[in-house]
Amino acid sequence: MRMDASQLPSGRDALPYFPRSRYAVFFGLAIAGCTADLLTKHWCFSTPALRAGNICWLWTGHVGIQLSLNEGALFGMGQGNVRLFAAFAFLAAIGIPVWLFLFRAARDGWLTAALGCVMAGVLGNLHDRLGLHHEIWPEGSPRAGQPVYAVRDWVLWQLNDQWVWPNFNIADSLLVIGACLLFLHAVACKRGQDSFSQN
């Protein structure tokens, strides 16, 4: 049976369908991850002993809690570019859900989960870069008394005193997890395409 042009789907109706459960996956991961990030930051930065500069060791000499403020990107890269990273994060926070749900990329479950993790990390650190934590630079700092527009980091990990990884937080971890899932997804898709082309 032939269909005339008026019967063909157009606009959004022409895009692939995705299960409505994808909303729960994406927003559930984004909200849960961002909440966990902000709550742990709040607890750590509200603890007097930690604010005094002390380290709370969970595994002596290797894993602990130490407060730091990061004006750069992930793991301290690009120090001083707070506004630039905040702008990128704001664009990502808009672009990711638009791509997933308006353009129906959410039909892919793994992609939806990976970007849910990324979104959680983006929102957690964007909150800090906008100064919504209301931190003030301490006495002794060149900017003492001024609002802090920096990410709050608290996870300390080191192999030894000579090899110390830059402090990070749950948002950073979720960004890395999301990026790894995206990489594995891309590899799996590539292998699937190669297998299909060989058949």
Residue 15 maps to a domain: no
5: number of Cβ within 10 Å: 6
Q: Could you confirm whether 4 is annotated as catalytic?
A: no
Residue 39 maps to a domain: yes
Q: What is the model's pTM?
A: 0.86
Residue 3 maps to a domain: no
Tokens of 107: 């039909």
Q: Which residues pair with 52 in a beta bridge?
A: none
Q: What is the pLDDT along the chain (199 residues), one digit of tens a residue?
A: 454 545 444 555 556 688 899 999 999 999 999 999 999 999 999 999 999 999 999 999 999 999 999 998 776 677 878 889 999 999 999 999 999 999 999 999 999 999 999 999 999 999 999 999 999 998 888 899 999 999 999 999 999 999 999 999 999 999 999 999 999 999 988 776 655 455 4
How many degrees, rounded to 5, is the angle at CA 66 between CA 71 and CA 40?
Answer: 80
Residue 5 maps to a domain: no
Cα gap 70→150, rounded to integer Å: 5
From 37, 128, 153, 161, active-site residue: 153
Helix (H) or strand (E) holding 43: helix 21-45
From 13, 128, 161, 172, active-site residue: 172
Q: Of 92, 71, 87, nearest to 149 (Cα)?
A: 71
pLDDT score of 196 = 43
Specify the DSSP class assigned to residue 102. I
Residue 7 maps to a domain: no
Residue 82 maps to a domain: yes
Helices and strands (DSSP H and E) totals, the chain: 5, 4
**In which domain, by residue range, is 170 found?**
22-194
Cα gap 63→155, rounded to integer Å: 8
Q: Could you confirm whether 172 is annotated as catalytic?
A: yes
Residue 113 maps to a domain: yes
What's the domain count of the chain?
1
